[in-house]
Structure 1
Amino acid sequence: MKTAAKAISRDQGLPRRAILIAFSLLLVIGAVFFSQTVLAEEEYPNQSAEEQAKGREFIEVTSKRAFDVLKQKDVLSQAELEDQMRVILTDSFAIDYIGKLVLGRHRKQATKEELKTYFDLFPDFLIKVYASRLTKLDTTEIEIERVIPHGKKDMFVRSKVDGENNETFDVDWRIRPFKDKGYQIIDVKIEGISMARTQRDDFTSRVSESKMAGLNQYMQNIIDGTEEAEPLEIEKADKPENDDTEDS
């Protein structure tokens, strides 16, 4: 009789246990659904019209400054052009961040002394190279087309640049907000060619061939004017819509 009573008790407990399990599953499913709904509805700052307007205005002002200088390249000397571009680049580009980005994984392989030398040289190197490359563009007008959010913080400000001989170039400015400076440029793509990625590939090749010491010496040579950086080859061609230059 006791055995039968226990069996009946177990049988009565099964529905109760099943109900508890089903209820627990419903709670879990509900929590997952709620969290996904909240995430779906969450709007990152770069998706707001107000922030996109700020990003657009930042590039409008910066590009106008740059192209006003470029229009004088037949009047100013190369040194004068570079001096004026230096001010714009220092104001508008995240130079320290770009320095870390283009060095990439080689930071882990370098000594403290080599890294110190690298980061001491990089600002002057970047200004020299970017100023040289940008002054070689034959540009007359720029038109901002649209702003495209990228990730949680970044935006691509897409523009068309009218050059001589009725040529038009696509120029995308990748910007990111920094606490101390507001929006800063972290990359420029000209006809789909990323200047940051091009620089990173070049640095990777040089470190592979001559280690960090060789890269630092190359940067010093560019700054001193005893060597010239590779030109940015720009061709009108089909290109992918997205090109992630970085992993962050």
Structure 2
Amino acid sequence: MRLKTKFLAAALAALPLAATMPSAPAAAQAVSDADAQAAGQFIDKLANDAFTVIKSGDPESRATKTELRSMLAENFDVQYIGQYLIRRHKDDITKQQYDAYMQVFPSWVVETYTNNLFAFRDANLNVIRAVPSGSRGDIEVYTRVQPASGAPIDAVWQVRKVGSDYKIRNMKVSGVNMALTQEQDFNSYISRNGFDALVSLMKRRVS
């Protein structure tokens, strides 16, 4: 697998799945320079923490996977992204289907992408800049991943302040929108096999 492909797969680990798109706040506040700077620091710290785990941990270790799972849950807007990725199916699935999907998702993400993340144990991520994006309070944090060998990879993190914390809502890697790509993959699978089949597939992969 090519290095860039591995990074794309690893990046998808940041994109949880699942069925009603939450509405934007009625009056989202403008992003200040201080907020943008803090968002950049948030991504910088997360990258350092994640690479510390990746470089020192074992990809087959339950403790390592648990630590990475906790990191994802704490720093990514799981509910928002999950609802976004199956937004087209929200009127077609039951609450039981939705709950089953959300229950298996965290384990599925870790099992699917942890090994890909370990391909970057010798890489470094640097924050280049952080700027406001749009009118809903989003911040784009531009970063560059430098592998031990090969060309650098540019990644843009979409961050929003939620309460007093910052949460990641999406990523673009080398210009590829991760949320849209994952949504298309899910839509394609569901159209061919049905929603229950998607959940069953996820369960098999984490069993």
Instruction: Give the alignment's TM-score, normalised by structure 1.
Output: 0.65
Counterpart selection for 2:175 from 181, 192, 208: 192
Kindly tell me the number of residue pairs found equivalent between the two proteins: 178
Q: Which runs of 5+ in 2 are unaligned?
A: 1-27
- In structure 1, how many angstroms separate the alpha carbons of the residues matched to 2:115 and 2:87? 23
- Please name the residue that 2:138 is paired with: 154
**SS class of match (1:45):** coil
- In structure 2, how many angstroms separate the alpha carbons of the residues matched to 1:96 and 1:130? 19
Q: Say which structure, 1 or 2, has more relative contact order (CA 8 Å, 6+ apart).
A: 2
Highest CA radius of gyration, 1 or 2? 1
Counterpart selection for 2:104 from 112, 121, 128: 121
Q: Which runs of 5+ in 1 are unaligned?
A: 1-42, 225-248
Counterpart selection for 2:75 from 65, 87, 92: 92
User: Could you tell me how far 1:138 is from its partner in structure 2?
Assistant: 5.5
- In structure 1, how many angstroms separate the alpha carbons of the residues matched to 2:146 and 2:91? 42
- In structure 1, how many angstroms separate the alpha carbons of the residues matched to 2:61 and 2:175? 28
Q: Which amino acid aligns with 1:185?
A: I
User: Could you tell me how far 1:50 is from its partner in structure 2?
Assistant: 0.8
Q: Tell me: CA distance 1:124–1:118, structure 2 relative to 1, closer, same or farther (3 Å).
A: same
Provide, for residues 113-150 of structure 1, a one-character-per-residue CA deviation record: whole Å limited to 9, x for no partner. Answer: 21121122223223333434333335422211011222
User: Could you tell me how far 1:160 is from its partner in structure 2?
Assistant: 0.8
> Kindly, what percent of the aligned residue pairs are identical?
25
- Please name the residue that 1:67 is paired with: 51
Counterpart selection for 1:52 from 14, 36, 40: 36
**SS class of match (1:174):** strand
Q: Which amino acid aligns with 1:173?
A: W
Q: Tell me: CA distance 1:164–1:62, structure 2 relative to 1, closer, same or farther (3 Å).
A: same
Q: Tell me: CA distance 1:130–1:154, structure 2 relative to 1, closer, same or farther (3 Å).
A: farther
Please provide the CA RMSD for this pair. 2.1
Instruction: Give the alignment's TM-score, normalised by structure 2.
Output: 0.77
- In structure 1, how many angstroms separate the alpha carbons of the residues matched to 2:61 and 2:179? 23
Contact 1:95 1:123 in 2 (8 A): no
- In structure 2, how many angstroms separate the alpha carbons of the residues matched to 1:56 and 1:107? 33
- Please name the residue that 1:29 is paired with: none
- Please name the residue that 1:109 is paired with: 92
